Structure 1
């Protein structure tokens, strides 16, 4: 097994566990509001898609429907932001922005997979058309790299924030070790961070 395949196996395991966790939470919170249930189901769908994405048989699912689905999911999170107390609408939206960007990253990876498939198909067309297509693809490569870089940097920052914010709780800090709500929030932050970090790796790795 190559190093790349080993990383893909670890990512598949991470996203599979995350998908099971989200599905379980969706069932547990079935009677606690539609928005939270939809949030968890969307996260579960993303985790499942990411779990199979590194492998060649993932191409059995068309890329365009995936892109449309996750683009809609990216819009869902900011559009359904709910304010708490005196919180501003912008602050409520910002809290859900990392989830929206994660879904946008999934949309972007699906788009790139479809573009790669078109590039592969171009190998069978006449030389003039192939050269035109390849020239267009090379012209967009810098833009592709820029978009990938922006998504990866933002998600990396979100990952580090989520992973470090709950560390005192996860270590069993004396001040909060008996607070079950704080512990649950810390674990949510841990999984948010791991999902974001796994998404960064998927963005940057060839698959």
Structure 2
């Protein structure tokens, strides 16, 4: 097994864990409303697709419907940002959901790239098949497409860093809570959500950046 296949194996394990977490939150959790359940189920679908994407047997699913599905999912997050909320909070609510939208957009971009590679395979024969098997391969893509992939990857890396470090203050010595600590205490109650958000964003960025 090559080093690339080893990395993809670790990413597959990561996304499989994220899929289990998303399914558990979307189906079994009692706290999220209808929007929260849809959010988690979309994350589950994305994680499952990402888990099988690197492997040849994972390419059995048609790429174009996946592109349409994840492009629609990318729009879902900002469009539903104010569902059940006052319009006063619209800017903050949209910004909060942008990392999720970026992850779905990255998935749509990768499946779109895979669909283009499949067309090259049909036209050029076996030599192109090796590249088509790797969603991170950017060769042959227009410069605008490469730029979009790079921007998404950098944004997701920043989101991953933020999600994985935002709970660190709860590790400090305990002290009396104040009105300003509401967000910190809420984060302490749901640390695994931020962990999975961060690791999924990191894994997605790696899938976008890995050269082949």
Q: What TM-score range do you get, normalising by the shorter chain?
A: 0.7 to 0.9
Cα RMSD over matched residues? 2.3
Query: Which of 181, 192, 199 matches 2:197?
Result: 192
Query: Which of 188, 191, 204 matches 1:183?
Result: 188
Structure 1: give runs of 5+ residues left out of the alignment.
Answer: 125-136
Is the 1:77–1:97 contact (alpha carbons within 8 Å) kept by the matching residues of 2? yes
The within-5 A match list for 1:1-207 is 1-29=1-29, 32-82=32-82, 87-123=88-124, 138=140, 140-169=141-170, 172-175=171-174, 181-206=186-211
Relative to the length of structure 1, the TM-score reads: 0.84
* Cα drift, residue 32 of structure 1: 4.0
> Aligned in 2, Cα 1:143/1:32: closer, same or farther, shift over 3 Å?
closer
Deviates more, 1:2-11 or 1:74-83: 74-83
1:88 is paired with a residue whose SS is helix
Where do 4+ consecutive residues of structure 1 move more than 6 Å?
none
Relative to the length of structure 2, the TM-score reads: 0.82
Output one character per residue of 1:70-100: Cα deviation in whole Å (capped at 9) or x when no partner.
Answer: 0110011001112757853111111101101
Task: Supply the distance in 1 between the matched residues of 2:76 and 2:124 (Cα, whole angstroms).
Answer: 38
* Cα drift, residue 46 of structure 1: 0.3
